[in-house]
């Protein structure tokens, strides 16, 4: 009897092990990779962005849903252009932003600002470079547009793969709400997108300078007509202000031992560009004095071409 009992016990033990091995273990697929250690890898860029859009929007839905319940309004959100590690905005940057937009636009919890509005504000405020190239400027731009959350990120190329880091930033507090990374196998299509600039968003920042000068015009006693005398005095005041502007610009120091005046004698291009700039001078203040004389204040802003020509010497 003992061998039979022993055999029965052993059989029961292995049967239990088999049952455990066959049992299906449920995995919570809703947990985003922000808390997983392995970066998900994809062969397709669109598959990687599909994962990113779903995971990120799910996470933000929870936060936005609570805010929506409290305030009764959708969270205003910007999908920014993703910057490369070199700080440039390329067609790859815009492609990512465009692909992620629908995942948030479909939700009642989000109000996504249109790309046309973003580009219009960039143009109106004369940004010399994209406001999305670094975190500080991105946050400030978000405040300017009245956004509450910005989806932003970076693109980097390493070996035979591209890495996209995406994060959601709270504009008011400046803290990161959530973030995730994906890795995509490098291919010629992505390389072309990565290297294709958006020229109007990658301008080098040029510092322009405004010069101001005053001029005085005195009416000639030979002109008996008061209206004509004032007109000629005004013209004389403008001429005087222009001469003072030119003198002020010429005396501007470019280097420790070089002034603009010195460069004008050596390069006709500098002189021509300065004359062109002076033609854009405008009167910003005009005073009619009791004795009939006219005092004006004029200003001129040196053009970008002129600044570039000076500093390229």
Residue that terminates a domain, selected from 173, 201, 229: 201
State pLDDT tens for residues 49-88. Answer: 999 999 998 888 887 766 655 666 788 899 988 988 887 8
- How much is the pTM? 0.51
How far apart are alpha carbons 247 and 110 in whole angstroms?
A: 57
Give domain status of residue 9, yes or no.
Answer: no
DSSP secondary structure of 22-57: HSPPP--TTS-GGGSSSPPEES-HHHHHHHHHHHHH
Question: What are the φ/ψ torsions at residue 265 (nearest 5 degrees)?
Answer: -75, -20
Contact of 270 with 310, CB cutoff 8 Å: yes
In a domain, 60, yes or no: yes
Domain membership of residue 13 (yes or no) is no
Domain end marker among 201, 226, 242: 201
CATH number at residue 152: 3.40.50.10610
Q: The domain spanning residue 234 has which CATH number?
A: 3.30.1660
- Positive or negative, the CA dihedral 116, 120, 122, 128 is positive
Flag whether 8 is in a domain.
no
Residues 96 and 229 grouped into a single domain: no
158 plus 87 within the same structural domain: yes
For residue 5, being part of any structural domain is answered with no
**Same-domain status, 182 and 247:** no
* Residues 194 and 61 placed together within one structural domain of the fold: yes
Same domain, 41 and 168: yes
**pLDDT tens-digit profile of 225-246?**
888 888 888 999 999 999 998 8
If asked whether residues 106 and 176 sit together in one domain, one would say yes
Q: Measure the CA–CA gap between 260 and 271, rounded to whole angstroms.
A: 9
Report which of 135, 292, 302, 274 is spatially closest to residue 207, judged by C-alpha positions.
302
Q: Which has the closest alpha carbon to 289: 212, 216, 213, 214?
A: 216
Report pLDDT for 201: 52
DSSP 227: H
Residues 102, 234, single domain; the answer is no
pLDDT digits (tens, 9 = 90+) for 88-126: 888 999 999 999 999 998 888 888 988 888 877 777 665
Query: Which one of 146, 171, 201 terminates a domain?
Result: 201
Residues 251, 152, single domain; the answer is no
105 and 238 co-located in one domain? no
User: Is residue 14 domain-resident?
Assistant: no
Containing domain of residue 218, as a range? 210-311
Query: Residues 16-49: pLDDT tens digits?
Result: 444 443 333 333 333 344 434 468 899 899 999 9
Closest-CA residue to 56 (of 30, 87, 23) = 30
Domain count, the chain: 2
126: in domain: yes
- Asked if 91 and 225 sit in the same domain, the reply is no
Q: Tell me, yes or no, whether 161 and 233 share the same domain.
A: no
Is residue 139 a part of any domain in this protein? yes
- In this structure, are 63 and 143 located in the same domain? yes
- The residues pairing with 157 across neighbouring beta strands, listed in sequence order, are 162
């Amino acid at each position: 009897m003992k061998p039979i009992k022993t055999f029965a016990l052993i059989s029961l033990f292995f049967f239990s092990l088999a049952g455990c091995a066959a049992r299906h273990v449920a995995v919570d697929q809703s947990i985003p990779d922000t808390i997983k250690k392995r970066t998900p890898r994809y062969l397709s860029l669109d598959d990687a962005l599909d994962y990113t859009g779903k995971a990120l929007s799910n996470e933000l839905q929870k936060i936005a849903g609570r805010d929506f319940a409290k305030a009764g309004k959708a969270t205003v959100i910007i999908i920014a252009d993703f910057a490369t590690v070199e700080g440039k905005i390329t067609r790859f940057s815009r492609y990512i932003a465009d692909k992620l937009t629908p995942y948030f636009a479909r939700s009642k919890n989000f109000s996504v600002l249109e790309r046309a509005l973003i580009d219009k504000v960039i143009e109106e405020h004369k940004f010399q470079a994209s406001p999305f190239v670094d975190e500080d400027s991105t946050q400030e731009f978000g405040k300017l547009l009245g956004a509450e959350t910005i989806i932003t990120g970076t693109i980097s190329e390493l070996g035979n793969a591209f890495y996209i880091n995406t994060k959601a930033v709270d504009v008011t507090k400046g803290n990161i709400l959530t973030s995730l990374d994906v890795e995509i196998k490098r291919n010629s299509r992505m390389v072309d997108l990565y290297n294709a600039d958006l020229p109007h968003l990658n301008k080098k920042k040029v510092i322009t300078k405004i010069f101001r000068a005053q001029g005085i015009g005195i009416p000639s006693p030979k002109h008996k007509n008061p209206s004509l005398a004032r007109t000629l005095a005004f013209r004389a005041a403008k001429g005087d202000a222009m001469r003072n502007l030119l003198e002020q610009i010429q005396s501007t120091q470019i280097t420790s031992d070089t002034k603009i005046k010195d460069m004008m004698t050596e390069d006709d291009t500098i002189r021509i560009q300065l004359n062109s700039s002076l033609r854009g001078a405008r009167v910003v203040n005009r005073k009619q004095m009791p004795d009939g004389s006219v005092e004006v204040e004029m200003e001129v802003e040196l053009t970008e071409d002129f600044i570039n020509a000076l500093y390229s010497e």
